[in-house]
Structure 1
Amino acid sequence: MSNILLIEDDPRVASFISKGLQEKAFQVNAVANGMNGIDEALAFPYEIIILDIMLPDMSGFEVCKILRRRKNISPIIILSALDSPDEKVEGLQAGADDYLSKPFLFDELLARIQAQLRRVEFNKGIVEVQSYGGVVINTDEQNATRDGQALALSPLEYRLLLYLMRNREKALSRIQIGQSVWNTSFDTNTNTVDVYINFLRKKIDKGFDQPLIHTIKGTGYMFKMKQYES
């Protein structure tokens, strides 16, 4: 379940891309201008950034340059109606990893996203391990066990566990969890995250000597084998 940042000011295009990617099990956060895009990209480790060029406050080229100057290494795929060779060169020189012209086929965008994800894994030499603290997640079958015992998880509980697993030993705010596990329209005024954390705790930690889900006062939660000291 990869997290994608979409920086696109056209609501129709943003809705089309977001819905299509969410149907493919991606988590998408969509913002409509460059400054918000920069803030989001620097605040949260997105696996992919999809970036429009013609934004209301600055060009996507400038967004790309700023992110690279700030040492953001997330792959950036530019989407733009500007499709001349010079503009494509400018985008790549600004630090983008790929450039896709509008209009585009969704399947082509999806293929390019998957190619960037594979490239990152290959370059890092990382094979994602879905095992920690006795919890093993089978992402193909979308189920999990702890110490060999099957965990009866709902789809939302499974997605929450997978997100915690992939961000283990990191302090996660309720907003981060909500926007990543639910969607970009997550209501920050609800206690939904706390409710589902409690559901998951009963299935992950109850009956085991070592708790894995820890509350961090004033912040949120952490998935960690050793007790977090606040």
Structure 2
Amino acid sequence: MMEKILIVDDEESIVTLLTFNIKQAGFETDVAYTGVEAIKKAEKENYALIILDLMLPEMDGMEVCKHLRYHKNNTPILMLTAKDDELDKVLGLEIGADDYLTKPFSPKEVIARIKAILRRTTFQETKQSTLQIGDLVIFPDRYEAKMHNKVITFTRKEFELLYYLASNKEKVISRDQLLNAVWDYHFVGDTRIVDVHISHLREKIEPNTKKPVYIKTIRGLGYKLEDPT
């Protein structure tokens, strides 16, 4: 059975362009023209990925993304926008989008982004080993962790970042490496999203965020997750 992608955009020309190229790439497609319609469809059907425009009638893309993530819908989201605004990009990724593409875009780039997101998603979902660092126990198959037997909840990207750091325990990982591994980003300036997510992780796992014992900042190099001492 072919994987199905939900296209959420109110511009008919964009929908037509995306539908044609995505089908040519071997996927099925479905369409929603408003944010409310997108949520209804996403709640009824399991899509491989959602292409979500930022500017939508009834409910914008940011609100749609926040709603889906709040209700534990972890379907990968590729966000589209006509705005070339770094703040929108960071905010979109921070609330749970998996990737971000600014209009105008080439169909080839859209397909490449879709395939990259699906590769990463499949790779993450095949991980089953439980990891333990100090009092932190990570369950990759459930996308959750526990500290002192208390469940900690994460956004999808927070968890993937934590898992990647834990899988490379004691190794110093640069911001660019983390972008490539978790977000597949290669654009100058986007490393700020790593710092934002590291800050969120520390708030959830560190006894004292001002003196972190799990996620250490290695000045000028990046981050390292290690057993607390």
1:135-180 per-position Cα deviation (integer Å, ceiling 9, x unaligned): xxxxxxxxxxxxxxxxxxxxxxxxxxxxxxxxxxxxxxxxxxxxxx
Query: How many angstroms apart in 2 are the aligned matches of 1:18 and 1:118?
Result: 21
Instruction: Tell me what 1:64 maps to.
Output: 65
Instruction: Tell me what 2:84 maps to.
Output: 83
Question: What is the CA distance between 1:82 and its match in structure 2?
Answer: 1.2
Instruction: Tell me what 1:26 maps to.
Output: 27
- 1:13 and 2:30 equivalent? no
Query: How many angstroms apart in 2 are the aligned matches of 1:124 and 1:98?
Result: 18
1:75-120 per-position Cα deviation (integer Å, ceiling 9, x unaligned): 0000100121101011111210000000001111101100111111
Instruction: Tell me what 2:93 maps to.
Output: 92
The number of residue pairs the alignment matches comes to 126
TM-score (norm 2): 0.54
Question: What is the CA distance between 1:14 and its match in structure 2?
Answer: 0.4
Structure 2 letter corresponding to 1:107:
K
Structure 2 letter corresponding to 1:94:
I
Question: What is the CA distance between 1:24 and its match in structure 2?
Answer: 1.6
* Structure 1 segments unaligned to the other structure (5+ residues): 127-230
Query: How many angstroms apart in 2 are the aligned matches of 1:56 and 1:108?
Result: 26
Superposition misfits of 4+ residues, deviation over 4 angstroms: none
Instruction: Tell me what 2:207 maps to.
Output: none
Q: Would the aligned equivalents of 1:92 and 1:98 in 2 still touch at CA under 8 Å? A: yes
Structure 1 letter corresponding to 2:36:
M
**Residue pairs, 1:128-143, within 5 angstroms:** none
Query: How many angstroms apart in 2 are the aligned matches of 1:33 and 1:118?
Result: 28
Question: What is the CA distance between 1:2 and its match in structure 2?
Answer: 1.2
Instruction: Tell me what 2:116 maps to.
Output: 115
* Structure 2 segments unaligned to the other structure (5+ residues): 128-229
Partner of 1:4, secondary structure, is strand
Instruction: Tell me what 1:187 maps to.
Output: none
Query: How many angstroms apart in 2 are the aligned matches of 1:82 and 1:68?
Result: 23
Structure 1 letter corresponding to 2:121:
V
Query: How many angstroms apart in 2 are the aligned matches of 1:15 and 1:108?
Result: 16
Partner of 1:65, secondary structure, is helix
1:174-193 per-position Cα deviation (integer Å, ceiling 9, x unaligned): xxxxxxxxxxxxxxxxxxxx
Question: What is the CA distance between 1:54 and its match in structure 2?
Answer: 0.5
Query: How many angstroms apart in 2 are the aligned matches of 1:32 and 1:67?
Result: 17
Partner of 2:80, secondary structure, is strand
Partner of 2:55, secondary structure, is coil
Partner of 1:95, secondary structure, is coil
Instruction: Tell me what 1:106 maps to.
Output: 107
Question: What is the CA distance between 1:73 and its match in structure 2?
Answer: 0.6
Instruction: Tell me what 2:75 maps to.
Output: 74
Q: Would the aligned equivalents of 1:49 and 1:76 in 2 still touch at CA under 8 Å? A: yes
1:30-68 per-position Cα deviation (integer Å, ceiling 9, x unaligned): 110000100111111101000001101111000000000
